[in-house]
Homo-oligomer: A and B are copies of this chain.
Amino acid sequence: MQMKVVNSLKEHGLKVTPQRVTILSAIEKKGHANIDEIYQEAKTTNPTMSLATVYKNITSLIETKLLKEVAINNQKSKYELSKKPHSHLICKKCGNLEDIDSHNLFTLNSDKLDFDIEEVELNIYGICNQCKKSN
């Protein structure tokens, strides 16, 4: 079994089940995947895996911060293993998503990226001042 994935589950206080290991391995293999891609990939390893299990686990893996959701315009959300902060290059034609080191972004010029940038979106998540007060 994937030792890395097993340890990761333990560290985050989740029971180590074959389904969880399979789901995490599937995401690790694919880099980024939506629910259905995870399900399809996971089934190749564990054919009895149910879609409901994928949904339930994605939820708890996100709650424990083992996974991160990436909501994307015009596509279903993809999921990735939590890793150091980075940005995404998202192809508007094929929908492919690729990680990019945000730091490099400003030292590289955009023409060196081999990607025609159409739109840049910076989303900042946190707690607004209303919510800070009402606690």
Q: Is the CB of B114 within 8 A of A129?
A: yes
Using A73-B77, A94-B130, A96-B130 as known contacts, say yes or no to A87 and B117 having CB atoms under 8 A apart. Answer: no
- Let me know if B125 and A122 touch, CB within 8 A: no
Known contacts A69-B73, A89-B128, A131-B94; A122/B121 CB under 8 A: yes
Q: In the complex, what distance in Å separates the CA atom of A88 from the CA atom of B128?
A: 12
The oligomer's copy count stands at 2
Q: Do A118 and B128 touch (CB < 8 A)? A: no
- Between A and B, 21 residue pairs with Cβ closer than 8 Å are A70-B121, A70-B123, A71-B73, A71-B74, A87-B122, A88-B122, A89-B128, A90-B123, A91-B125, A91-B128, A91-B131, A93-B128, A96-B128, A100-B124, A105-B122, A117-B124, A117-B125, A117-B126, A120-B123, A120-B124, A120-B125
| Chain B residues near A87 (CB-CB < 8 A) | 121-124
Whether a CB of chain B sits under 8 angstroms from the CB of A85 is yes
Q: How far is the CA of A69 from the CA of B72 in the complex (A)?
A: 9
Give the interface SS of chain A, mostly helix, strand, loop or mixed. Answer: strand
Query: A130: shortest Cβ distance to chain B, in Å?
Result: 7
